[in-house]
Amino acid sequence: MATLHNALAEFDPQGQYAKLPFWGALDRIHPQVSDPFTVPQLLQLGLEEQRHLNQLLNEAIESSPELYATLSIQTIHADYITPNILVNQDQVVGILDFEFATRDLRLLDYMSSLDQLASFPWQEVLFEEIVRAFSTGYQALSLLTLAEMRAAISVWKLQRASSLVYWTGWLVEGKGSRQKIVDAVVETLRFETWLQSNQRKWLDALGCV
């Protein structure tokens, strides 16, 4: 991913070709969900889950302007997950699906990929090792800025919120599974609760403290 980011940083540095809105603009990332706070109702969540998700959405919306004003913005892949990465003999030999590629927060791309690899610390015995290996490998080729390190948790919340809003838009269009999205909500809220007690451990594994 670091090698890809280094290359993409040279492409469209002024954002002239970027057609998609910033992922942090939660009211614009899917035409079927102009109000992100309708997501809990659209998913028919329980009252406690609605409250918790609304809190996450509110924090993401409030933090977004500062994040976009202070963090590195460049062309990103925006869907750098294992199904889109071709590997041969432990080497990445190709990257697929640039459908969502756009100009956005570099750290958002980083968090999206990391989240797909390590998002269940209560299940994954090697959770911290996976996070540390991902971070160490990335920063061997492309260093995160101090501002990015400090914003890690806020950008994780923004990344999760934007994904949930977008997937809900898919559901409204009849393209998604409600249960899969609800499961993603539950996992997101559980991870956020886990972070409240394990923030330093997670940031340490990321190399941010």
Average pLDDT over residues 145-156: 95
Q: Does residue 119 surpass a pLDDT of 90? A: no
Q: What is the pLDDT of residue 176?
A: 85
Q: Nearest CA to 100 among 194, 180, 20?
A: 20
- Look up tokens 């750098």; give the residue: 80
For residue 137, the SS3 value is helix
Please give the structure tokens belonging to residue 128.
Answer: 């911290």
Q: What is the pLDDT of residue 19?
A: 86
CB contact at 8 A, 164 and 189 = no
CA gap 195, 69 in Å, rounded: 25
Average pLDDT over residues 158-165: 97
Whether the full predicted model's pTM is greater than 0.75, yes or no, is yes
CA gap 8, 80 in Å, rounded: 13
- Fill in the DSSP letter of residue 26: T
CB contact at 8 A, 87 and 93 = yes
Q: Are strands 91-95 and 102-105 parallel, antiparallel or unpaired?
A: unpaired
For residue 93, the SS3 value is strand
- The chain-wide mean pLDDT, for the chain, equals 93
CA gap 105, 15 in Å, rounded: 12
CA gap 77, 143 in Å, rounded: 18
> Where are the alpha helices (H) located in 83-126, listed in sequence order?
106-117
Q: Does residue 209 surpass a pLDDT of 80? A: no
Q: Nearest CA to 106 among 139, 60, 130?
A: 139
Average pLDDT over residues 45-74: 98
Q: Does residue 57 surpass a pLDDT of 80? A: yes
Q: Does residue 30 surpass a pLDDT of 90? A: yes
> Where are the alpha helices (H) located in 23-151, listed in sequence order?
39-42, 47-70, 106-117, 127-139, 146-150
CB contact at 8 A, 4 and 77 = yes
Q: Does residue 8 surpass a pLDDT of 80? A: yes
